[in-house]
Amino acid sequence: MTEHAATAAAHAEEHHEEHIHPASYYVKTWAILVVLLAISFAGPFLGIKWVTLTTAFGIAIVKCFLVCARFMHLNIEKRLASMIVLIAVVLMGLFFSGVSPDIMKHEGDNWVNIAANAETVRRIEREGADGKKLDEEVEKRLEEHEHGGGAKPEGAKHE
Amino acid sequence: MTAFTKPLATLRHATGMPTGRLALWWLLASEIVIFGGLLMSYVMHRIGHPEWANQAAHTNQYIGLTNTMVLLTSSLSAVIAHRHAQLGNGKRAAQFLWLTILGGIMFAVIKFGFEWPHEIAEGFIPSASGFWGFYYCAAGLHAAHVIAGATVMFIVSLDALKNKELQRVELVGIYWHFVDVVWIFLFPLLYIAK
């Protein structure tokens, strides 16, 4: 290590060690996290779908940022660490965007996933018999199946 | 050859970050891809299979809430252990690490001692449906990380007790927080979105 690099390293070390937060800083962060957890838990009790999704996943993202910034100290860490994390998150997004059309839908212009459709219907038939309330989307899917599985294009390829 | 006066993991080279911490962030990047791939697959299937909502209705959100509280609190003790390590107080750091390990044990006992046996007794085994397959896979992989983290934390605490290798307290703490972050997403996915 050159003299300059050693000086820079020593400076960086000192810089990092300056950031010794009081214990109260961490306790406050924990308290915020607990309040957010309570909100995300209470959200579904209102029975409104968008409120449930917002309180569940919106708050999960906020909690994630809080833990990363204040507990994992990404807010005072070298930017390189955030970049490393970002690369992994981008790869995750790439995977999702590439695969999701084939998984989230059971049919496309030239294909039908018969097995996935059949599984959906079989489950609904079995669990519907228990008297459980089906949500609108499930009922719609069941109805589509009963009327011939929806319009299939000519030459549709079965998977 | 120069004799090292400090552990290799605390030295900084081109990045200006201690080598140990840099390595840990790369490890976490690989973990993000593992858990991210699994959770993204779950989300895609969950959207593609609306009937999974009926299955998800059987998970116990109160147990999920309790385990989330346990993990959040254990993260607090982990970061306070790191603070004591920064101040050079290895003994206090070790004590807070033990508290964190206790949180990990509580989490595992709740999951393997109460939650899973109850669900299995109800017939919700991994092969019961796609939902339960994902549920046991995701929660099981996460629990394995909790157990691994607690084990490594115990080893680190033994050194910390002697005021040795205190930089490892921060590293094992960052890992623990990551395990907490994964649970922060698992909780709404498996217990809240019904």
* B57 touches A: beta carbon within 8 Å: yes
Here the ipTM equals: 0.91
Query: Given a cut of 70, is residue A1 above it in pLDDT?
Result: no
Nearest Cα to Cα of residue A14 among B86, B23, B25 = B86
For the segment A102-113, what is each residue's pLDDT rounded down to a tens digit? 899 888 888 888
Number of other residues whose CB lies within 10 A of the CB of residue B115:
18
Chains A, B: CB contacts within 8 A come to: 166
Nearest Cα to Cα of residue B20 among B175, B178, B135, B164 = B175
Share of chain B above pLDDT 90, in %: 82
For residues A48 and A55, what is the distance between their CA atoms, to the nearest angstrom?
A: 11
Q: What is the mean pLDDT of residues B14-26?
A: 89
Structure tokens at A136: 């609108």
**pLDDT grade for A157, boundaries at 50, 70 and 90:** very low
| DSSP assigned state of A157 | E
For residues A57 and A69, what is the distance between their CA atoms, to the nearest angstrom?
A: 18
Name chain A contacts of B180, Cβ cutoff 8 Å: 67, 71
Q: Left if phi > 0, otherwise alpha if psi is -120 to 50, otherwise beta: which for A155?
A: left
User: Which of B10, B12, B68, B176 is the best mutation test for A, with the most CBs of A within 10 A?
Assistant: B12
- What's the pLDDT at B92? 97
For residues B73 and A90, what is the distance between their CA atoms, to the nearest angstrom?
A: 30
Q: Nearest residue on chain A to B32, judged by CA atoms?
A: A88
Q: Do B181 and A17 touch (CB under 8 A)?
A: no
The A residues from 62 to 121 touching B (CB cutoff 8 Å) are 63-64, 67-68, 70-73, 77-78, 80-81, 84-85, 87-89, 91-92, 95-96, 99-100, 103-106, 116, 119-120
Distance of CA B151 to the CA centre of its chain: 12
Class of domain B61-192: mainly alpha
Nearest Cα to Cα of residue B26 among A72, A113, A103, A84 = A84
Share of chain A above pLDDT 70, in %: 68
For residues B29 and B31, what is the distance between their CA atoms, to the nearest angstrom?
A: 5
For the segment B62-99, what is each residue's pLDDT rounded down to a tens digit? 999 999 999 999 999 999 999 999 999 999 999 999 99
- What's the pLDDT at A116? 86
For the segment B151-170, what is each residue's pLDDT rounded down to a tens digit? 999 999 999 999 999 999 99
The A residues from 8 to 37 touching B (CB cutoff 8 Å) are 8-9, 12-13, 17, 20-21, 23, 26-27, 29-30, 33-34, 37
Q: Do B192 and A21 touch (CB under 8 A)?
A: no
Q: Do A84 and B26 touch (CB under 8 A)?
A: yes
Q: Nearest residue on chain B to A44, judged by CA atoms?
A: B192
Share of chain B above pLDDT 70, in %: 94
Distance of CA B142 to the CA centre of its chain: 6
- What's the pLDDT at A4? 47
For the segment A54-96, what is each residue's pLDDT rounded down to a tens digit? 999 999 999 999 999 999 999 999 999 999 999 999 999 999 9
Structural domain spans, chain A: 2-102, 107-148
Name chain B contacts of A40, Cβ cutoff 8 Å: 187-188, 192
Nearest Cα to Cα of residue B101 among B65, B138, B136, B73 = B73
Q: Do A85 and B65 touch (CB under 8 A)?
A: no
Q: Are B70 and B106 in contact (CB under 8 A)?
A: yes
Torsion over CA of B61, A55, A101 and B39, rounded to 10 degrees? -50
* B98 touches A: beta carbon within 8 Å: no
